Structure 1
């Protein structure tokens, strides 16, 4: 250090630039050259603190024992004193002060304590950020030794008062952030936690079914065998304070040995000279006990006992809050998991991965869910949804809605009907909750997927080249709201899923970030999926990793469905729908399915012709038979790519082509079929017949740009 830092300042001034004789004046001038006074230069950016030889003498450390870091002085500065100094310096750095000063004690090599004083000058940059501390440290033994006993007593009292204040403030502040029992334990076991308490060893136990289970002990190596679980009626200090609900202060080693002969032989090697055991009481009942063991003190003053009782109360309240939090979170998570499917069934022709992540903040759970529904004919239903709210009621509604939606799908209803019926069910529950949902029904033999969306996010599609794109799906109102407003028409969007392609369905908790646009979240998820691994399970873990990393207050559900490469020979697309008589809703859904399918399959300019012919065939089956009709659309591969329409009914009567006449309102159906279709015919079936027709359509290798129905 240069002379401007360590030597005297200008004539008549001390190193701080103040006139001699001022209260903060130069101690060299006050006490003369023989006074031991060292200098230090503390670089706050690097954490290194250089000291001169005299400063080493003040701390009673050799140069080879000090590595430039303040932590190296721990052997010389008692823990409580070090913590008090840390608080003084931290307060000065935060409140904009330019200097600070403090008395503290240093433990010499022989074990004796001596008074020391330090002054620091804080250097800040242009922004006010502290960068360096230049200061002195001096032996204050002569100063306080020459003072009257009352002065020394006031210094000791002030130091003790600051220590007690720091105990209450430090521990309470740390415990305020504890959410779980383990958080409370971590606060107490942490090095600074022990410093707050002024103890060298710590033990804590929780009361469980008439016993005390040890949950924390420290530092490492201080565990006493046989005390992991003890009975409340045993002769141990923690058992005693739980029985009596009163603290137990052990003021000397002799007191410890005489009072607890079972425990004392196991802790003699720890050098314990006193101990304080506190009952942890919450709502007038003991929930545990805390033991603080000391190595360098005997006896407890009235003020120390008051501080320990206050600390015990604070710890007990934090511990009970943490226990309630864990119990309620376990209950909520158990309910959530019970409502979700326990296992995902194996589906031939598909790989499936699902994930659920609960909210990182708070104990509440949400109504997010997923489901996979095996259906006849090589089909599978995939569901992702989110009930409004984050509580157990949302989870209960979610469970009912999931079961009802699964039942409607397995009954054979079309995707649009499944969604409409689920909306009516939710509305009739009278819960004042709504839900968003996306239902996808995939025919794995053909790859045709029908989407129905109720206020939910669009799905994503990961192609075989690894790229990922958003699939725009027409949608209706959320479940519950559509029934309330009488808008139960849910459009169907069809997509052909190629072998190796993957559908990605998720809830908004996976993409929504407070303050950010939802579309940006979808793009980020798409980019993450593009760069993600090929393995479906690993991809699911990576996508959910963004939720694990950022935390948040919303749940997230994810469902990935990939069409297998090996199980997917491609005969073309195939769709089928049942149309009941006197059911205009089913007829409208069939027409919508046909319109969506012919466009998704690339029928091009023949799309209108196919729709018209199919509509006429369905109408004839419903008008001229007593039963229902089954409509099937298929893409036939071969020399010519053909789209085939089959309409089955239960009547054996064959259709007759006839002229309608100028004023006739019927009779033109088969005429249109004959004129527009490339080929048509009638096949007899065991219980009826099948009227069919085929249209030659151009081969297509690319999905149409607009996937909307």
Structure 2
């Protein structure tokens, strides 16, 4: 590093050269070199005038002794010089040299260099030391600066390499800013603050700064014709390097009051140019820096070129992503209907790649009878065609649900609709119809992932559902039937339906993603909207290349109130003991629930339903008794096969219900018929029709459930307060 000083008149006592060439004394005096002659025999030292100035010793203070020559040195420094001289003399060296620190009379500290030549006689005995004393303060500072420059040069080169590698992976403008502000080498290089500006409509918009303490709101938007360094480099396409606070304040008086609190000593502003046009600017503020070497300037300009290319690519990506996301969002429901007795939260996240418009969707439809249908679906593919198919399929499925078709019929019709479209795409779908009043829920799955249920106590379980082929394929292969899984949501329980983009990760098993989602659902907040945000945040990192949708359905009500009480009994074929135990369970339950007056009827009806299941189907049957707190105001017309006559024993007051269900694995549904007088069978459903207040058949998983209900007066304890 070359040393450069401003001109100053020679110090007092230094002769000005009159002739040419100058004398040796003039050479030494003008370059801060003094001479000494040390007589070892007499232990006396002679110092010339320049040596006295370098050692900062006044002529009247110097008595000619070696100790006086080193009076400005600390005792340990003077002792080190003495040891060096004695070692050179004892070991027969021809010369010696040493650097030492001294403190001048004004309190400033500096360095001197002593170098002497030992003069010996013919016998080799040392008699004199003739040498020079040099002011080495600038020399050592210059050497240290050179060493630092050599050390910083690979560090700066590594910074450019690391940032360039990070920018190669950057996709969005946020990724570009993270690549710049997240590199720790910037702190080690003394970069106190970093500002990235983006040209937007004749203005420079600062989109990122390296540290929160560096944020200057007044500089977030500046016009290109303003007198600011970012605006200037965008106008001129020329870098600007500032090497002192005074220069900063002089060049940019309007900016300096905002920048001064950051404490910069130097700054570099670089235009970001892509395809010959300025797209932004980069500002770097330094501390403890006062110059930029040519190598540093070249490295920073190269860094600006890499940033410009990445920023242009990221800006194009963000524009495409906004267009894609806007198109996708326009095809989703704008509002979610309010459903009495239920809370609903939905979320959608677009794919990470801008052009990948996904086919995921959700929907919420109010259906007749106070029920609600919720849907999650995913059309195959990630393009505009998938989004278009999704929009058509969502509208069709919504129409079928709103017309009141049963869940299996809704899915079958939607599959036929998709098959008739001029497309080769199929779609997975999960459809659930819930009654918030009772919690009764019917779920149909078409090639989709099983839903999860978060129970009132916070535990999470998978809700296994029987599934059919994806929509479009079932109609194509002539398999339009979709099995229906019956479930019940207790008050406070939450059903989670989601698309595979929420749980799929490249190179990871799908079950691992479902387990991660279950943990997030279990540990999430209680509020429904906050829970949806929590799931999106946890499962959104790392972001995937697929879009995702999720839907939360919670049955509201008093969680402290116990759900409908149930009893189960499995009856195997050919097991008379199990049939007897089932009858006993019916009688005990009716007595426990204060329905003893209907116990005989319930026991006989249960016996008939179990017998029909064992006789007309393969395998056993499952008997379920449920105490329901209040009557169903509007039975599902799609599931009731034969309404029973109004019983004479019912009064007009409030009632409670006991439902008897027999579940088997057969798909054929029972028929009520009128047998002849000589026939021995066919009277089971007639008997159930006479005994029960209502009966019907519902799809249940891979089979069906035949049920009947018995009503009784509502107990005072069952009546809610108020």
* Range with greater deviation from structure 2 (557-566 or 285-294): 557-566
CA distance in 1, matches of 2:191, 2:564: 78
- How much has 1:515 moved relative to structure 2? 5.0
Q: Paired residue for 2:415?
A: 423
Cα 1:672/1:145, change in 2 over 3 Å: same
Which among 470, 483, 487 is matched to residue 479 of structure 2? 487
The normalised TM-score by structure 1 is 0.57
Cα 1:227/1:370, change in 2 over 3 Å: closer
Q: Paired residue for 2:428?
A: 436
Q: Does the aligned pair in 2 maintain the 1:452–1:493 contact within 8 Å?
A: yes
Q: Paired residue for 1:38?
A: none
Aligned to 2:496, what secondary structure does the other structure show?
strand
Aligned to 2:280, what secondary structure does the other structure show?
strand
Note if 1:333 corresponds to 2:339. no
Note if 1:207 corresponds to 2:199. yes
Note if 1:561 corresponds to 2:553. yes
Q: Paired residue for 1:317?
A: 309
Aligned to 1:398, what secondary structure does the other structure show?
helix
- How much has 1:457 moved relative to structure 2? 1.9
- What pairs with 1:19-418 in structure 2 (closer than 5 Å)? 158-159=150-151, 161-189=153-181, 192=184, 194-195=186-187, 199-216=191-208, 226-250=218-242, 259-263=251-255, 275-294=267-286, 300-358=292-350, 364=356, 366-418=358-410
Q: CA RMSD in A?
A: 5.4
Aligned to 1:489, what secondary structure does the other structure show?
coil
Q: Paired residue for 1:584?
A: none
Q: Does the aligned pair in 1 maintain the 2:612–2:684 contact within 8 Å?
A: no
Deviations 1:441-497 (Å, cap 9, x if unpaired)?
234455443322211123344556665544433322111222333322223333455
Note if 1:604 corresponds to 2:614. no
- How much has 1:111 moved relative to structure 2? 11
Note if 1:678 corresponds to 2:687. yes
- How much has 1:164 moved relative to structure 2? 4.5
CA distance in 2, matches of 1:542, 1:396: 30
CA distance in 1, matches of 2:479, 2:195: 64
CA distance in 2, matches of 1:600, 1:549: 53
- How much has 1:215 moved relative to structure 2? 3.6
Q: Does the aligned pair in 2 maintain the 1:633–1:643 contact within 8 Å?
A: no
Cα 1:442/1:493, change in 2 over 3 Å: same
CA distance in 2, matches of 1:222, 1:279: 20
The normalised TM-score by structure 2 is 0.56
Cα 1:629/1:373, change in 2 over 3 Å: closer
Cα 1:464/1:610, change in 2 over 3 Å: farther
CA distance in 2, matches of 1:529, 1:160: 50
CA distance in 2, matches of 1:184, 1:505: 35
Q: Does the aligned pair in 1 maintain the 2:484–2:699 contact within 8 Å?
A: no
CA distance in 1, matches of 2:483, 2:522: 29
- Which structure is larger by alpha-carbon Rg, 1 or 2? 2
Unaligned runs of 5+ in 2: 1-80, 86-98, 102-106, 113-134, 567-604, 618-636, 648-654, 663-671, 705-722
Q: Does the aligned pair in 2 maintain the 1:642–1:696 contact within 8 Å?
A: no
Q: Does the aligned pair in 1 maintain the 2:453–2:495 contact within 8 Å?
A: yes
Cα 1:342/1:165, change in 2 over 3 Å: same
Aligned to 1:214, what secondary structure does the other structure show?
strand
Aligned to 2:300, what secondary structure does the other structure show?
helix
CA distance in 1, matches of 2:151, 2:657: 97
- How much has 1:161 moved relative to structure 2? 4.4
